[in-house]
Copies of this chain bind each other. A is one copy, B any other.
Amino acid sequence: MSEQPAPALTPVSAQPAGPAGVPAEAPSASPHAGPLPENVAAALKRDSAGLVAAVVQQFDTNEVLMLGWMDDEALHRTMTTGRVTFYSRSRQEYWRKGDTSGHVQWVKSVAMDCDGDALLIRVDQVGAACHTGTRTCFDGRELQVSTASTGTAGQAI
């Protein structure tokens, strides 16, 4: 089901293993077993660190705000609390968007892609999504490219 075992993560809080009435994975010592519905856990294709990419999009304008990373527990929290929670690859800890900045992401919907290695989280973003203060993490960060229509600085094929 997953490409690699999830990393040993710090113990999570006292949340129950799964919401009432939602099927849970069979009890296991695996760190990523438990919190997600069984069909979701089975469909996820995690990377070697136990993570999937989560694209965050503003629900009404369709802006792509940022990309973060989620393990099973972060996705569980995102699906059940109304707020987006990520797993930080650099700090190796969970972080809930907005707890420090106030720039909360209210969850509108979550979808998994066709091969299970990416999530699309549609949200209502309060304020700036980027820690640098820009609305999205991609604003003002365009690279120079050649396009087929303009053909600048390169040859379209």
CB within 8 Å of B: which residues of A?
Answer: 19, 21-22, 37, 40, 47-49, 53, 55, 57, 61-64, 66-67, 78-83, 89, 106-115, 117-118, 120, 130-132, 134, 137-138, 141-149, 151, 153-157
Contacts and interface: CB of A to CB of B under 8 A. Distances in A.
27 contacts: A19-B153, A21-B153, A40-B143, A53-B53, A55-B64, A64-B64, A67-B113, A67-B118, A79-B143, A80-B145, A80-B146, A80-B153, A80-B154, A80-B155, A81-B155, A82-B147, A82-B156, A83-B156, A89-B117, A107-B148, A109-B142, A109-B145, A110-B143, A111-B138, A112-B143, A114-B137, A120-B138
A147 B121 CA distance: 12
B153 A22 contact: yes
Given A55-B55, A107-B145, 6 more contacts: A19-B154, A53-B118, A64-B64, A110-B145, A114-B132, A115-B137
Contacts of A112: 138, 141, 143
A55 B47 CA distance: 17
A79 B146 contact: yes
Is the contact region of chain A dominated by helix, strand, or loop, or is it mixed? loop
A82 B113 contact: no
B64 A61 contact: no
Name the residue in A57, A67, A134 with the highest tally of chain B Cβ atoms < 10 Å from its Cβ.
Answer: A67
